[in-house]
Structure 1
Amino acid sequence: MERKELAVELKHNGNNCAQAVLCAFEDEVGLSKEELRKIGAGFGVGMGCMESTCGALCGAQMVLGMKKYDGKPVLRDAAGILKEFENRCGATVCKDLKGRDTGVVVCDCDDCVRHAVEIAEQL
């Protein structure tokens, strides 16, 4: 199964978007699924209120840190992830992606998870 589809399956089985992205990289980051679920627990639904950054994007940024951080800043890569996610999904804030205020869904959760995983795979 492709990693992005694994992440979507994880999302539909008790994980928020951040946890789903993180757990899809369990084999690469050296932490257990339970540890990754704990790390991502507070990042779903735009940090619990739809007012903040998409959990899938947060998960991709955490994967970046675990895969590439070696004591030197990864800010350029982090900015690249953010821009690529926004290009693919149309926004970065949960409420904007889900159309909470407009009634127009820009990108659904499953596709946000897929895009976040694809972007993180490119690291």
Structure 2
Amino acid sequence: MEESVKFGRLAEAHFESGLLCAESVVSAIAEYQGVDEHLASKMATGFCSGMARTCGPCGALSGAVMGISLVLGRESLSDTVSTTYEATQELVEKFESEFGAKDCHKLLGCDIGTEEGMEYFRSHNLRSNCSNYTRKAAQIAVQILSKNA
């Protein structure tokens, strides 16, 4: 099985077991990199649900950006940001191309920061969409990271 598919499925399994979107993606990428996934998951919590239900970027996408930065981010002030930025831009472009948006409320068609939005989310079983975003964000990130290894 291709590595990106494996870690995409791992992220989805994390999500299905109770982790939230950003937590699931960054945990899978941390495992891919051999880094403590529990600390990575903890760092990601505020990014879940479109930055804590504020209609921000999709949490799965945010978790993937954190994962890319975990692997490619600068280690010293003299390091360049170009590799990380290029990988992040590619991730965002591919995610948006796949799903038509990058912000949580646009992807879901509702604002989950409101009672009405959460009711819509539940009644339309949109959690399954989030599971898909989680799997695909991790898969895209690992594809990009494997090219930069």
Taking structure 2 as the reference length, the TM-score comes to 0.73
Per chain length, whose mean CA-contact separation is higher, i.e. which structure has more relative contact order (CA < 8 Å, sep 6+)?
2
Show the counterpart of 1:72: 80
Kindly provide the CA deviation profile for residues 40-69 of structure 1, in whole angstroms up to 9, marking residues without a partner as x: 110111011151000010011111111112
Which of the two has greater helix per residue? 2
Kindly provide the CA deviation profile for residues 71-105 of structure 1, in whole angstroms up to 9, marking residues without a partner as x: 2112222111111110011110001111116x797
Q: CA deviation at 1:14?
A: 2.1
User: Of 67, 91, 99, which aligns to 1:89?
Assistant: 99
Structure-to-structure mapping, 1:91-110, within 5 angstroms: 91-100=101-110, 108-110=129-131
- Give aligned-pair identity as a percent: 30
What CA distance in whole angstroms lies between the structure 2 residues aligned with 1:95 and 1:121? 25
Over alpha carbons, which structure has the higher Rg?
2
What CA distance in whole angstroms lies between the structure 2 residues aligned with 1:114 and 1:3? 8
What CA distance in whole angstroms lies between the structure 1 residues aligned with 2:87 and 2:73? 10
- Greater CA deviation, 109-118 or 25-34? 25-34
What CA distance in whole angstroms lies between the structure 2 residues aligned with 1:76 and 1:7? 23
Residue 43 (str. 1) matches residue 44 (str. 2): no
Task: Give, as a single letter, the amino acid of the residue that structure 2 aligns with 1:22.
Answer: V
Show the counterpart of 2:138: 117
Stretches of structure 1 lacking an aligned partner (at least 5 in a row)? none
Q: Using a 3 Å threshold, how does the CA distance of structure 1 residues 50 and 112 change in structure 2: closer, same or farther?
A: farther
Q: Paired residues, what number?
A: 122
Taking structure 1 as the reference length, the TM-score comes to 0.86
RMSD, aligned CA:
2.3
